[in-house]
A and B are shown apart, each in its own frame.
Chain A
Amino acid sequence: MKNIIYLIFGIFFGIILTKSEVISWFRIHNMFMFREAHMYLVIGSAVVVGAVSVAILKLLKIKSASGEPISFKGKAYNKGFIIGGIIFGIGWAITGACPGPIFGQIGAGAYPAIFTLAGAIVGALLYQHNRARLPH
C-alpha cells in the first residue's frame, strides 16, 4: 500500500503543527488581530525554506524517487483564486483552522472541529456541483 508513507509523513506533520500550536484557534486569531508574529514567521520561514529547496532541486536537476524528472508547474491563474481565497479567509477566521489543522484539532481532542470538517466536505461538494455556473 504505497499511500502508507504519506500517512507517516502526515503523523510527523501533525506533531509539528501541534507542538508549534499552528492548529490553535488562538494563534490564528492573534495572527489576524496582529497581536503575535508567530504565525507570520512560521509561514514566512516555511516559504523561504521551501523556495530555497525548490531552487536547489532545480539547479541540481534532482529526480523524484521513481526516477522521473520533478514537475514544478505552478497552478494557472483564474478568477477563482481571488474569489475563492476571500471565501476561504472568512472560514479560516471563524474556525481558526485551515484544511490541514482541521484534522489536527480533531486529533488533539477539540471535538467541535468535527463540525468544521463536515462543513468543509459539504462546501467542497457544493463547489463541485456548481463549478460550471461560477465565474472562473
Chain B
Amino acid sequence: MHTTYWPWYIAGPLIGLFVPLLYIIGNKAFGLSSSFDHMCYIITPKNRKAALKFDAGQNAWKTFFVLGIAIGALITQFVLSDTPKPFLPEKYYSLPGFIFLFIGGLFIGFGTRYANGCTSGHAITGLSLLNPASLYSTLAFFISGALFTWLLYFLF
C-alpha cells in the first residue's frame, strides 16, 4: 500500500532515541503528560499555588518540549510539506465536535495524571526500563481505547 507518511522503521527508532537522549543530556525520564501539571501550576492564582503540592521546576522542561512539538508540527505542515494534511476528521470542526474533544481532553488530563504517565512516560520510557507497573498501565490504556473505539463504532 502506498503511504505518504514516514514508515514505522524510520519514526519508531527515532522516537526511541529520545529516551537515551534525555537521560544523557538532562538525567530526565522522557514523559510528557506531566506538562499538564506545569500548565495547571502556571494558570493557578499565586495564593493557591501551594495547594497544588507539586514541584513546578521539575516539570518546566516538559512545557518547553511540548511547545517545541507544536512548532515542529507547524514547520512540517506548512514548510516541509507540499500539501497540508488533515489530522482531525471533518466532524470535529463543529460545535458538537469541540464539546466532544473537550470531554476527551478531560479524560486525557485526568487519566494520565491519575495513572502518573501516558504513551511516552509509561509505554515508551516505562517499557524501556522493563518496569511491570508501566506495562499494566500501557495495557490498560490500549485495551480501554480499543474497546471504546469499537463501542463508538457500533453505536454510531
Contacts and interface: CB of A to CB of B under 8 A. Distances in A.
Interface size class, chain B: 35 or more
Contacts of B101: 94-95, 112-113, 115-116, 119
Given A46-B16, A128-B37, A3 B106 contact: no
Interface string B102-115: 11111111111111
A64 B66 contact: no
A19 B16 CA distance: 16
A112 B91 CA distance: 10
A91 B106 contact: yes
Given A13-B18, A125-B40, A84 B114 contact: yes
Interface in A1-26: 3-26
A9 B63 CA distance: 12
Interface in A109-136: 109-110, 112-113, 115-129, 131, 134
Nearest to B92: A112
A122 B109 contact: yes
Interface in B35-84: 35-37, 39-40, 43-44, 51-54, 60-62, 64-78, 80, 84
B142 to A, nearest CB: 7
A97 B70 CA distance: 13
Interface residues of A, number: 108
Contact of A10 (B15, B51, B64, B87): B64
A75 B67 contact: no
Contacts of A125: 40, 44, 109
B16 A45 contact: yes
A81 B133 contact: yes
B2 interface: no
A7 B63 CA distance: 8
With most chain A CB atoms within 10 A of its CB, the pick from B17, B114, B149 is: B114
Interface of A: 3-26, 29, 32-34, 37-38, 41-51, 53-54, 56-57, 62, 64-66, 68, 70-72, 74-78, 80-110, 112-113, 115-129, 131, 134
The 8 closest A-B pairs by CB, nearest first: A10-B68, A119-B105, A14-B72, A123-B109, A84-B114, A89-B144, A49-B16, A85-B140
25 contacts: A7-B68, A9-B22, A9-B68, A14-B76, A20-B8, A33-B149, A41-B12, A42-B8, A45-B12, A65-B25, A72-B23, A93-B148, A98-B108, A99-B36, A103-B69, A103-B70, A108-B85, A108-B87, A119-B102, A120-B36, A120-B109, A123-B107, A123-B111, A124-B109, A128-B52
